[in-house]
Structures are given as C-alpha cells and as structure tokens.
Amino acid sequence: MLAVSGYNGRGITTGTVIGKGFAHYLVSGDDSLLPLPLQRARPVRARSLWSAAYESGFMLYHAGQCLRVLT
C-alpha cells in the first residue's frame, strides 16, 4: 500500500506530482522514480495507552460541552 498525507493546503500540485510518481512506480516497480523515498510503516508503541488518552480527551471535551463549560 502506498500513502501520502499532510499536504497542508497545497494538495493540488503536490498531489499531482506524488500521484504521477506512484503511477510510474506501480507500472515499473522501480522505487527510484518516486519523488520521495519509501519508508516502512512503524508499529505504534503503547497503542492501548494512546487509545485511552484520546478517548479520555474526547469524553472530557464532550462532557464540557454538555455541561456548557465549553462552547
């Protein structure tokens, strides 16, 4: 799977260049044609801790909205 994210508002030009590079790579299999180097995905460390932290933050924010503490 190939993926790029984080265009940060400049997606038209960057997305076009990356898309063309991906297409050339998928046809030829030569990763030197890519505009950016390939990197292997790394596993997320302490995944359950990250999940609990995000869930707690969302719950606190929602509670604040329900209690009309946050707008």
Give tens-digit pLDDT for 19-51.
Answer: 888 888 889 988 887 887 877 778 878 888 989
Question: Which range of residues forms the domain containing residue 11?
Answer: 1-40
Q: Are residues 16 and 34 in the same domain?
A: yes
Who has greater pLDDT, 14 or 49? 49
Who has greater pLDDT, 6 or 66? 66
Q: 2 Cβ partners below 8 Å, 6+ apart?
A: 22, 25, 26
Q: Are residues 8 and 29 in the same domain?
A: yes
Does position 71 have pLDDT exceeding 80, yes or no? no
Q: Are residues 35 and 54 in the same domain?
A: no
Number of H helices and E strands in the chain, helices first, is 2, 0
Q: Are residues 29 and 13 in the same domain?
A: yes
Measured CA to CA in angstroms, residue 21 lies from 1, 27, 35, 52 at distances of 14, 10, 6, 38
Q: How many domains does the chain have?
A: 2
Q: Are residues 9 and 31 in the same domain?
A: yes
Does position 68 have pLDDT exceeding 70, yes or no? yes
Q: Are residues 32 and 10 in the same domain?
A: yes
Does position 59 have pLDDT exceeding 90, yes or no? yes
Give the type of residue at 11: G
